[in-house]
Amino acid sequence: MQPTYLPYLGYFHLIAASDVFVFLDDVQFARRSWQSRNRILGAGGEVMLTVPVQKHERDTPICEILISEAEPWRDKHLASIRHAYARRPFFAEGFTFLEEALATRGELAGLNRGIVEAAARRLGLAAEFVNASDLACPGHRSEHLLAICRAVGATDYLSPMGSQDYMVEDGVFTAAGFPVRFQGFVQIPYPQGREPFTPYMAFVDALMNLGWAGLRALLGEMAEAEA
């Protein structure tokens, strides 16, 4: 998966089902993507939080994108999060984590990886984390993915949601006889303090409402629902 800013629960569902999780940080950065932004649930509905980045060439890979410090974006994000969740039952627990996690400066991918890895450890997930940029694998699209699988010694590939169409079209894994499974993420509603339930928010939403222990239990329910 590309390193995502404050990813949704499906991201951690994928990590939970993996022995090795690869941050696909060697592909081209895309503006207005989940690489640099995500949504929380404010009083008036969805609120988008975006990490500003420095100017770069169009084909710059994610691993080389630098965060722009021209504005106090961290303070703005934390203020938005406080405004949205200050009255939720696990606000203090979640806010302390975010204050520490957002402190990273420099590369956008480093910020995102740090948040994901720290959250994964709090959730008791044991996957090994690897950066695709450290593997220097060749190829494009499915060929690149297959090269990464071989580089980390994988015996099968668990593909994220949304990749099935182009992977089937490419036919690379089928031709190589390399086993592929496609993620079957099932969103399970949890208390958000309002109705109806709004799915696919940044994991921050579930953290503020459930706490780390509740979030661990929810991921377990999701795994059972998929099975």
The position carrying tokens 């239990």 is 217
> For 154, phi and psi rounded to 5 degrees?
-70, 150
Mean residue pLDDT across the chain: 96
Q: Where are the domains of the chain?
A: 9-134+186-226
Length of the chain: 227
Residues 51/29, Cβ–Cβ less than 8 Å? no
pLDDT tens for 124-158 read 999 999 999 999 999 999 999 999 999 999 999 99
What pLDDT is attached to residue 116? 98
pLDDT above 90 for 51: yes
Nearest to 216 by CA among 147, 120, 104: 120
- Total H helices, total E strands in the chain: 8, 6
pLDDT bucket at 202, cuts 50 / 70 / 90 = very high
What pLDDT is attached to residue 162? 83
What pLDDT is attached to residue 52? 97
pLDDT tens for 92-133 read 999 999 999 999 999 999 999 999 999 999 999 999 999 999
> For 14, phi and psi rounded to 5 degrees?
-70, -45
C-alpha Rg value of the chain to the nearest Å: 18
In DSSP notation, 59-128 reads T-BGGGPBBP-SS-HHHHHHHHHHHHHTTSTTHHHHHHHHHHHTT--SBHHHHHHHHHHHHHHHTT--PE
Q: What is the distance between the alpha carbons of residues 65 and 63, in angstroms, rounded to a whole number?
A: 6
Q: Is 152 exposed, middle or buried (0-12, 13-18, 19+ CB in 10 A)?
A: middle
Predicted TM-score (pTM) of this structure: 0.95
What pLDDT is attached to residue 161? 81
CA distances (Å), origin 39, targets 10, 47, 161: 14, 5, 19
Contacts of residue 186, defined as CB under 8 A and 6 or more positions apart, other chains included, come to 222, 225, 226
pLDDT above 80 for 27: yes
Mean pLDDT of 21-40: 96
What pLDDT is attached to residue 66? 98
What pLDDT is attached to residue 225? 87
pLDDT above 80 for 227: no
What pLDDT is attached to residue 200? 96
Mean pLDDT of 10-14: 96
Residues 180/164, Cβ–Cβ less than 8 Å? no
